[in-house]
Structure 1
Amino acid sequence: MNREQAITEAFVGLTDTVADDVDPLTLLRRLVDHCVRLTGMDAAGVMLANARGRLQSAVVTEERVELTEMFQAQADEGPCIDSYHTGDAVHADDLAASDERWPVFTPLARAAGFAAAHSFPLRLRGQNIGALNLLARTPTPLTPDDVRLLAALVHTATTSVVTWSREPLRPYDIVTRTQAALSAKAVLDMATGMLAATAPLTMAEAGQRLRGYAASQHLRSADVAEDLVRRRLTPATVLAGTP
């Protein structure tokens, strides 16, 4: 698949909101996967604003990204925090030069193995609902073409995340659906922890097993997680049924 085909596939995947297995977290996971695949970034994540306006991690491509997002949320500083509050893209091609800019976040991000960070706001109808977090292990600038592509992907994903339901969008639904995505993330984390506690799996591996089971059963990951947490489904069944 060439780059043009990959870009087309990315936009098609982010606008596919009618499939039965699609939910906000699935759409955001597609976003971060495409962002890494189509740019020079090594990892990505999305943070969403909770009811108090504080950012929380929603999806990540690897566990160390979630650590950097926790650093930003706790310190209230970093590229995602700035992007969310300003509504503008934020770029740090080399974190080694950002100690004064983000004195708490920068050394922690570098200790996690990242040397560059970029962030784009998730914005819809004049309302900021979160930020995309892009990280690289070496100092890495984004090209102007990358910036335009990422901005378009983020806008497409943001629109899809808020409007994925077949119900008509009302003025307060933007916040409601953002909160629903964060609630689904909390349930997903609990279910993933249950799988990791049942078998010798890391959280990342357990998450993959849960998504694999959901795909094999043509179910949404969020629904499988809900069934696990409510004991309508056993961890053994999910682990045994994963391809």
Structure 2
Amino acid sequence: MAADQRLATVLAGLADTLRPDFDERTYAEDLACRAVGILEIDAALVLLTGEHGRISATAERTHVVGGRRAIAIEGPPEEALRRGEAVGSPDLRSETRWPRFTLGAVDDGFAAAHAVPLRLREQRVGSLTLLWHGAGLLDERTCVIGQALADTAAAALMARRSLGAAQTLAGQLQTALETRITIEQAKGILAARRGSNVDSAFEMIRSMARRHRRRIADVARDVIDDASAVAHLAAHGDPAGRTRSFTARDEVSSGEC
């Protein structure tokens, strides 16, 4: 496959974050592997940050090595993330800025590193660090493609996170709506049973929830289900002393809220 076709395939793969089985740790490993596979480097380290903490993955040309020996991220990976720009060293053997990172990288046989941020405009979600055995600077093409991989990954990750946030919010709103409907139904049912107004019925439901340390919606559901636990709430009928069994079906047919 031609180099341009391979790059297009890699970028398309990185952009696919909306599949149901998406997982950020797996994505970090995939990004590291794809970087090693398409760039003239010997290893790649990916750092992702988010509300659930940090994820890191390292890949060499043959396998993922994050569990074998961890190279410290307190160096180019963190600095690229913090500064939002590329950082690195053409010769780690004489590098003094990042002692922990340099020690781990040199011990693993790497002589140089180049880290780029995963960014979309002003937002940053991680970094991609490229490592190679020989000292010296990366060529311009490798640097440009490395940043393109990082930019694509950043945009894809942020799209995924935005979708997840939207889905969470939609779920919360749906739950709130269903809870409100349940409470309103229970108010109407209890008011009809007691011959009182809905405000009084709600106060009774709320008071019982407080006394028994239960959610108002749970007590409301018991009222709708005519559960024995709330039977005493309707013990006092209307002024004429009349009581009757009133179900959610009755409420729907009568048109009451």
**TM-score, normalization: structure 2?**
0.55
Q: 1:26 to 1:103 in 2, by over 3 A?
A: closer
Alignment of 1:192-203 (within 5 A): none
SS of 1:139 mapped into structure 2: coil
SS of 2:78 mapped into structure 1: helix
Counterpart check, 1:63 vs 2:65: yes
Displacement of 1:51: 4.9
Q: Which residue of 1 aligns with 2:215?
A: none
Q: Which residue of 1 aligns with 2:160?
A: 164
**% identical equivalent positions:** 31
Q: Which residue of 2 aligns with 1:152?
A: 148
Maintained 8 Å contact 2:11/2:149: yes
Displacement of 1:32: 1.5
Higher mean displacement: 35-44 or 104-113:
104-113
Counterpart check, 1:80 vs 2:73: no
Q: Which has the higher contact order (CA 8 A, sep 6+)?
A: 1
Counterpart check, 1:105 vs 2:101: yes
The one-letter code sitting in structure 2 at the alignment partner of 1:29 is: E
Q: Which residue of 2 aligns with 1:47?
A: 47
Displacement of 1:44: 1.1
SS of 2:56 mapped into structure 1: strand
Q: 1:23 to 1:86 in 2, by over 3 A?
A: same
Superposed structure 1 runs of 4+ greater than 4 Å apart: none
Pairwise CA RMSD of aligned residues?
3.0
CA distance in 2 between counterparts of 1:169 and 1:159 reads: 15
Maintained 8 Å contact 2:46/2:58: yes
Q: Which runs of 5+ in 2 are unaligned?
A: 170-257
The one-letter code sitting in structure 2 at the alignment partner of 1:15 is: A
Maintained 8 Å contact 1:45/1:57: no
Maintained 8 Å contact 1:45/1:66: no
Displacement of 1:145: 1.3
Counterpart check, 1:3 vs 2:3: yes
